[in-house]
Amino acid sequence: MLTEQEMLAVAEKYMVFRSRDNMTLVVIDQFTERKPYGNIYTYDSKKVYGNFEP
């Protein structure tokens, strides 16, 4: 089983794969769902998330 840090590293690698030249993706930690079988990460562009206020 993967640790929390290893799961986040996998998610970050996926975001790099999905990013475009002019768009950077970030994990929105407050929306991360922690399940017994793993985490479900929510991500969005840094530009959009920068304007987000919970």
Output the pLDDT for position 1: 82
pLDDT of 19 reads 84
Q: Is 1 helix (H, G, I), strand (E, B) or coil?
A: coil
CA atoms within 13 A on the CB side of 8: 10
User: How far apart are the C-alpha atoms of 13 and 53, rounded to whole Å?
Assistant: 26
Read off the tokens for 53.
């206020």
Q: What pLDDT was estimated at residue 10?
A: 94
Q: Give the DSSP H/E element, type plus range, for residue 9.
A: helix 4-18
- What per-residue confidence (pLDDT) applies to 11? 92
pLDDT digits 0-9 by tens, 12-54: 999 889 888 888 888 888 899 999 989 999 998 888 776 655 5
Q: What pLDDT is stored for residue 7 in this prediction?
A: 93
Q: Which tokens sit at 33? A: 């769902």
